[in-house]
Structure 1
């Protein structure tokens, strides 16, 4: 595209939720409440796992990593969103906008991979219990965790480097509450076909493969549960996995709704609401789901409460 007569921009303005001025106070209150609950809930999970010997297992180690990822997403997006809503729009540098997207994308990408690792952990525990401790040992857990963190940051770094090479000529306004990929790239006056091909090459396979692996692992888990003749034993299997499955459905459902379904048929308001699900709501409810449906977490929390008394 010809950019000779176009001004290269160095900052952008986020509009937030200016379409709902009468709900400004409500948005501020809810987002602030969600921020506090998310931070407290995920820190509580991390603290309980770190301080209880009974929770020193691979499943709870990966749960703390999920909490770290949720904290990263929330603290990257929600505080700035509160600022944008309070001021009826907020300006930030283009570099800060791209970096915000990078941290957010890495966290979401990590969660895709982590959920598949957690499914593999449940598969081994239920379908191969005799070899579980020898296979899913602390060394493997740490290697898996480091690997998916590095993979997440590396893959997204390739995309971010390509975004930094684009020229952004305006308009400087993004009708969103954070710097997401699509509205950010739409500001570019450069040819974005290359970066779109990168997204298809890297992100789609790395997103679909974890989902397929989760489905395969749970097919084996369900088959193992059905073979258990003891009804209470089968119920325990499903109870153990129900929290993880709930998180998978919520996370993949909200992300699919905003990135996979056709964008042209969705209004900007619908996109913002869908984005709130995986940037604000999901990080908040993850620790709630695991604490309310997990007896070990509830026992550890009860033990800490009794100790303090």
Structure 2
């Protein structure tokens, strides 16, 4: 019995010894990569890494929400507007040409419509000039009713030109009882030998000149007339202020330089020399800068004393 137990213990001891001498369990060793395919695997691995990095970057960019930055708002500043401050306060033009308007294209005969305040002569003179200043036609209308407010008049103006077209000037004037020019106004036209007319609208209905001094009841004396006026010139030609007696003789003259064509206040003097009181006519006129001749004239009576 003891012999049997001894053998069992010996067998168990041997089994334990064998178990202690056995190698511990380890993970499998990876198989070595053949050298000839190692570069290809490295390149594929790098490409995969770059693709993953790019996808991550795009994902991050897609998540970024742009912030709207408000730009500074530009403030609109209106351009300066030309305003003829005093022209609406001027009197209605003594010769207001209502048709045709400036640079209208016209054929013969021209239908001239106007609102006109005639002088004591009751004569209205209409002259049509060609582009070189030659007189194409002159029309006189007599016994036109006088009115300080103006009278509507229509006059047919016939003409003939050799060219197909040319620039022209239609001039309307009135005279006082002494034959002095009282008022004169003009409009430039395109004269056509044939074709279709193009009638433009009229310009300002007001006088471009308003005289503040001398006033209608003033009587200048001492050989000097003080002239103060609001002027809207037609061009840059000099404006001429002149005193004319009933016989048509010039008593005094002043040339006024014009530097711009905007409304402007003019103050100047006109010297004169008389020995007795004279009922003179103060005329203010300007020539045409395109066609030779007078373009506009304004006048008023003034009693001059020595």
Q: With the length of structure 1 as denominator, give the TM-score of the two structures.
A: 0.23
| Structure holding more helix per residue | 1
| Structure holding more strand per residue | 2
Q: Which of structures 1 and 2 has the bigger CA Rg?
A: 2
Q: With the length of structure 2 as denominator, give the TM-score of the two structures.
A: 0.23
- Greater relative contact order (CA < 8 Å, ≥ 6 in sequence): 1
